[in-house]
C-alpha cells in the first residue's frame, strides 16, 4: 500500500507491505539505519523515534500508522540531515561521555529530547524514571543521566535566547 508522511521535515511517499514495522521501513526501505533494533519485545528502546512529536518504539508500530503523520528520526534531529551540526542533546552526550558502543544512543537521544521537551526542569529522578524504557549495557546510565540533564538545560537555554 502507498503511504504518505512527513519524514524529518520532508514529504515522503512509499509503497509498503502492510505488515512492515516502522523500524524495518526506516532501515530497509528508506536506508535510515540510525534507528536500531535491539530486541523483539519492545523492551530496549534502541528504535525510539518521534511520531507526531511523541516518542514511540518504532519496532512496535506498523508502517500504515504513519500515513499522514509526522515522523522524526535521529537523522533529522538537527533539522539538517546532511550536516555535522549537533542538537544540544547530542552535544551534551558528547561532552559528558553519555555513550560507549553507540548502539542504544539514537533511542536514548530521542527519548531524552522528548523528556526535556515535555518537562523543562527535569530532576535526576525524572530522568531515571523517563529512561526506564531504554536499556544501555555499557555506561551504567550515570553519564547518560548527567548528559540528559545537561542537554535539557541547554535546550531550554537555547529556546530562551
Partner 1 sequence: MGNVIGIGAAPKRKEDQRFLTGRGNYVSDIKRPGMAAGVFVRSPHGHAVLRGIDKSAALASPGVIAVLTGDDVADDGLGSLPCGWGITDAKGVPMKEPPFPMLAQDKVRFVGDMVAFVIAETPEQANAAADLLKVDYEVLPSVVGVLEAVRPDAPQLFDDVPNNICCNWELGDKAAVETAFKKAAHVAKLSLVNNRLIGNPMEPRAAIAEYEPGTDRYTLWTTSQFPHVVRFLMGALVLNIPQHKLRVVAPDVGGGFGVKQFHYGEEAVITWAAKRVRRPVKWVASRSEGYVSDRHGRDHVTEAELALDETGKFLAFRVNTLANMGGYLSTFGPNIPTNLYGPLLGGVYTTPAIYCNVKVVFTNTVPVDAYRGAGRPEATFVLERIVDVAASEMGIDRVEIRRRNMIPKEAYPYQTPVLVQYDSGDPMGCLDGALVAADVKKFGVRKAASASKGKFRGLGYSTYVEACGLAPSRFAGRLGARGGLYESATVRVHPTGQVTVMIGTHNHGQGHETTFAQIVSDKLGVAFENVDIVFGDTDRVQFGMGTYGSRSLVVGGAALSKATDKVIVKGKKIAAHLLEASEADIQFEAGKFSVAGTDRIKTFEEIAGAAYVPHNYPLEVLEPGLEEQAYYDPVNFTYPGGCHIAEVEVDPETGTVTLVNYTAVDDVGTVINPMIVEGQLHGGIVQGVGQALFENAVYDEGSGQLLSGSLMDYCMPRADHLPMMNVATHSTLCTHTPMGVKGCGEVGTIGSPAAVINAVVDALSHLGVTHVDMPATPNRIWRLLQNASLPVAAE
31-60: contacts with partner 1 (CB under 8 A)? 32-41, 43-44, 46
By the rule CB under 8 A, 129 interacts with partner 1: yes
Of the candidate residues 106, 113, 149, 150, the single one contacting partner 1 (CB under 8 A): 106
Q: Which of 3, 16, 72, 90 binds partner 1 (CB under 8 A)?
A: 90
Q: Is 6 in the site for partner 1 (CB under 8 A)?
A: no
3-state secondary structure the chain: CEEEEEECCEEEEEECCCCCEHHHHHHHHCCCCCCCCCCCCCCCCCCEEEECCEEEEHHHCEHHHHCCCEEECHHHCCCCCCCCCCCHHHHHHHHCCCCCCCCCHHHHHHHHHHHHHHCCCCCHHHHHHHCCCCCCCCCCCHHHHHHHHHHHHHHHHHHHC
Q: What is the contact surface with partner 1 in residues (CB under 8 A)?
A: 27, 32-41, 43-44, 46, 73-75, 77-78, 84, 86, 90, 93-95, 97, 99-106, 109, 124-125, 127-129, 131-132, 134-145
Amino acid at each position: 500500500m502507498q503511504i504518505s508522511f512527513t519524514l524529518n521535515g520532508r514529504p515522503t511517499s512509499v509503497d509498503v507491505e502492510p505488515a512492515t514495522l516502522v523500524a524495518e521501513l526506516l532501515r530497509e526501505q528508506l536506508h535510515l539505519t540510525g534507528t536500531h533494533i535491539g530486541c523483539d519485545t519492545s523492551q530496549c528502546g534502541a528504535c525510539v523515534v518521534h511520531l507526531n512529536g511523541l516518542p514511540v518504539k518504532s519496532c512496535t508500530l506498523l508502517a500504515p500508522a504513519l500515513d499522514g503523520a509526522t515522523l522524526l528520526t535521529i537523522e533529522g534531529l538537527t533539522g539538517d540531515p546532511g550536516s555535522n551540526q549537533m542538537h544540544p542533546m547530542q552535544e551534551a552526550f558528547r561532552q559528558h561521555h553519555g555513550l560507549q558502543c553507540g548502539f542504544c544512543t539514537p533511542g536514548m537521544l530521542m527519548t531524552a529530547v522528548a523528556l526535556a521537551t515535555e518537562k523543562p526542569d527535569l530532576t535526576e529522578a525524572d530522568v531515571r524514571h523517563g529512561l526506564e524504557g531504554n536499556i544501555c549495557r555499557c555506561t551504567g546510565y550515570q553519564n547518560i543521566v548527567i548528559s540528559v540533564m545537561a542537554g535539557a538545560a541547554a535546550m531550554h537555554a537555547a529556546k530562551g535566547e
